[in-house]
């Protein structure tokens, strides 16, 4: 690794290594931590494909690495996994003045904020799509075969990243994503503060709006539990299904019976997603 990275921990798992790394981010103007899983093939391969995972509200990089159960399949498939934090953090980074959990620290919504006091630090889209991949590709045996996935707020982030950057990712998928944040309470709260009152600007960060103008028809895979407590008010996956159908964009929505919003749900189907991504990355 080069000097800008500090390794916080290294853990052996399924023949590979899980590392937690800290670095100074120019994009969000603070120290950031991310996790990277290097499969056994990293010991001898020059450039492996990489799967980026974006977590949801309140999470850090550790939620996915500790709960998703992704490493056995990733080791078999030769996939590097990179899991960033969900927001900037640290001294001087503003949080929600009301202390709520769905905005501010742990809730960056993967947008580039334009409003004060958020604009200086809350530029998570720039971080995820530009700074982080460049850092990973310069310091690990990773090439430019990238894919992206996420959960809830992170599912929203993954969809938006893929739709706004045609050709950058080979695959995209999501678990219980917020597909229409401009029209649901979580998104209205976050977008109103990060982006300001002009709702037309919110649509630049809304998958339902972006899918109709996407120049690339990258197939989308979504898993959604039918016992998810956020399904009807916050998630509304059928809105994206309708937008995709209108645009002729390939999308598969799998409604999973009995599953909720938790990492029990994610861990049940994460191997399906990893194999979906691996096939696209190999092609």
Enzyme catalytic residues: 152, 228, 261
Q: To the nearest 10°, the Cα dihedral for 152, 83, 57, 64?
A: 80
User: Cα–Cα–Cα angle for 71, 72, 74, nearest 5°?
Assistant: 60
CA separation, residue 81 to residues 27, 72, 202 (Å):
21, 12, 30
Q: What is the 3-state secondary structure (H, E, C) of 86-107?
A: CCCCCCCCCCCCCCCCCCECCE
Other beta carbons less than 10 A from residue 232's beta carbon: 9
Cα 74 to chain center, whole Å?
17
Q: Return the H-helix or E-strand segment holding 84.
A: strand 80-84
């Amino acid at each position: 690794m080069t000097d800008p990275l500090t390794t916080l921990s290294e853990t052996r798992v399924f023949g590979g290594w899980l590392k937690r790394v800290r670095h100074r981010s120019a994009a969000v103007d603070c120290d950031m931590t991310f996790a990277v899983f290097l499969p056994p093939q990293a010991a001898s391969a020059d450039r492996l494909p990489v799967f980026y995972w974006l977590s949801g509200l309140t999470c850090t990089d550790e939620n996915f690495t500790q709960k998703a159960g992704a490493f056995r399949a990733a080791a078999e498939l030769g996939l590097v996994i990179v899991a960033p934090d969900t927001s900037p953090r640290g001294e001087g980074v503003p949080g929600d003045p009301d202390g709520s959990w769905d905005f501010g620290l742990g809730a960056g919504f993967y947008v580039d904020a334009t409003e004060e006091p958020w604009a200086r630090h809350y530029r998570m889209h720039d971080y995820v799509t530009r700074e982080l991949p460049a850092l990973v590709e310069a310091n690990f045996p990773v090439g430019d075969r990238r894919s992206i996935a996420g959960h809830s707020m992170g599912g929203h982030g993954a969809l938006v990243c893929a739709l706004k950057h045609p050709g950058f990712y080979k695959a995209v998928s999501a678990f219980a994503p917020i597909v229409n944040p401009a029209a649901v309470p979580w998104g209205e709260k976050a977008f109103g503060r990060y982006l300001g009152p002009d709702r037309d600007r919110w649509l630049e960060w809304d998958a339902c709006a972006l899918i109709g103008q996407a120049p690339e028809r990258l197939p989308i895979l979504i898993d959604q539990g039918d016992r998810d407590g956020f399904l009807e008010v916050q998630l509304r996956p059928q809105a994206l299904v309708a937008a995709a159908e209108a645009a002729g964009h390939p999308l598969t929505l799998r409604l999973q019976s009995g599953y909720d919003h938790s990492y029990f749900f994610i861990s049940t189907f994460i191997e399906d997603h990893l194999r979906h991504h691996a096939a696209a990355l190999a092609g």
